[in-house]
Structure 1
Amino acid sequence: MNSFIETERLLLREITLEDIDGMYALDSDPEVHTYLGNNPVTDKNQIVDVINFIRQQYVDHGIGRWAIIDKSTNDFIGWTGLKFVKELTNNHINYYDLGYRLRRAYWGKGIATESAIASLAYAFQKLNADAVYAMADTANVGSKNILQKLGMKLIETFDYNGSPSNWYKIERETFEKRLPMGKGI
Structure 2
Amino acid sequence: MDPYLQTARVTLRPFGADDADLLVELDSDPEVVRYLSGGAPTAPEVVRDQILPSVRAGYDRWGGRFGLFAADETASGEFLGWFCLRPERDGPLDHVELGYRLRRAAWGRGIATEVADALLTKAFTELDVRVVWGATMALNRGSQRVMEKVGMTVTQTLETPEDMLAVEGADLGGFQYEITRDQWKERGALPS
Task: Calculate the TM-score normalised by the size of structure 1.
Answer: 0.88
CA contact (8 A) 1:130 1:172 kept: yes
CA contact (8 A) 2:157 2:176 kept: yes
- Which residue is 1:73 aligned to? 76
Deviation per CA, 1:39-65, whole angstroms, max 9, x where unpaired? 32132x222221111111111123101
* Matched residue type, 2:189: P
CA RMSD of aligned residues (A): 1.6
Aligned positions of 1:156-167 closer than 5 A: 156-162=156-162, 163=170, 164-167=173-176
Q: Distance in 1 between matches of 2:137 and 2:47?
A: 23
Q: Which has the higher strand share?
A: 1
Deviation per CA, 1:2-29, whole angstroms, max 9, x where unpaired? 3111110111111112322221211111
Deviation per CA, 1:43-98, whole angstroms, max 9, x where unpaired? 2x2222211111111111231011111011101100013121136xxxxx543100
- Determine whether 1:40 maps to 2:41: yes
Report the identity percentage.
34
Q: Distance in 2 between matches of 1:53 and 1:180?
A: 33
Q: 1:141 to 1:66 in 2, by over 3 A?
A: same
- Which residue is 2:150 aligned to? 150
Structure 2: unaligned runs, 5 residues or longer? 163-169
* Matched residue type, 2:79: F
Deviation per CA, 1:117-172, whole angstroms, max 9, x where unpaired? 11111111121111111100111010011111110010111113144110111011
Q: Distance in 2 between matches of 1:65 and 1:178?
A: 26
SS of residue matched to 2:123: helix
* Matched residue type, 2:179: I
- Which residue is 1:90 aligned to? none
CA contact (8 A) 1:22 1:77 kept: no
* Matched residue type, 1:57: G
Aligned positions of 1:22-171 closer than 5 A: 22-38=22-38, 39-43=40-44, 45-48=45-48, 49-62=50-63, 63-86=66-89, 94=92, 95-162=95-162, 163=170, 164-171=173-180
SS of residue matched to 1:151: coil
Q: Distance in 1 between matches of 2:138 and 2:120?
A: 22
Q: Distance in 2 between matches of 1:113 and 1:153?
A: 15
Q: 1:145 to 1:52 in 2, by over 3 A?
A: same
Note the C-alpha offset of 1:179.
5.0
Q: Distance in 2 between matches of 1:179 and 1:160?
A: 35
SS of residue matched to 1:2: coil
Deviating beyond 6 angstroms after TM superposition, the runs of 4 or more aligned structure 1 residues are none
Task: Calculate the TM-score normalised by the size of structure 2.
Answer: 0.85
